[in-house]
Structure 1
Amino acid sequence: MPASTATTGFSTRFGRKTGTGNTYAYFAEVSNINGIGMTREAIDATHLESPDGYNEFIAGMKTGKPVTITLNFVPAATSDVTDAFATGSGEFRILFPGGTVAFDFTGIVTEFALGDISNDKLTASLVMQPSGKPTLGLVAGG
């Protein structure tokens, strides 16, 4: 059996497109990215003569799953997070380790939240809802 080529998520980056071209401003101190994926509606097509009394489904519309990023909240450097929420939409990239594969999507920022304020580190999170077709693949030129 061949050796595993698995890797960790260490050095994955999250960015927002700036201007034209393939330039992204990457957020500082991202500690977690969650929810990357796509779903599809299952439309019930069951009828009174469905075979053997089982429900039948047909494939419906596809949707990108909401993406949540969590980062260390540095009060003196909040512009990336608050600008993303204030603007409401943008083009986003999750750049995987090695910098050759990315999950790119256009989306709207649906939530901004600060984590618990305690003796632990300060955190913040953003939730983005992809709009349209997200892509997972090789980075242009990568």
Structure 2
Amino acid sequence: MLPLLRVHHIAIIGSDYARSKQFYTEVLGLRIIREVYREARQSWKLDLALNEQYIIELFSFPKPPQRLSHPEATGLRHLAFAVSDIEATIAHLTAHGVAAEPIRVDELTDRRFTFIEDPDGLPLEFYEE
């Protein structure tokens, strides 16, 4: 068996770096660990943490290609965040102009969840624990 320890990070490329940075830091509340502009690549790299744990690398690149991004599309399905109160989460998102899908209930666990999209349409799930 391969001795994997944990997921190290998730990398996301935004089409508008400033808009994505604002969304992930101000709307979702992730903490900036480090922000670097890489001149050779004409690219920003923003390392973000959740609860003091490194979790997301946010990148910008000149003219990145579009990617099909729906929860049921082939490939990465979505990124999910655990929350303690789904209604409070939706209220916070709504106050920041982010629309959430209607609350669904996981038929296997009876837990409630909802989806939103980041500024580039990446599906993000909020799963109530």
Rg larger for:
1
Instruction: Settle same-fold status: TM greater than 0.5.
Output: no
Larger strand proportion, structure 1 or 2? 1
- Normalising by the residue count of structure 1, what TM-score does the alignment of the two structures yield? 0.29
Greater helix content: 2
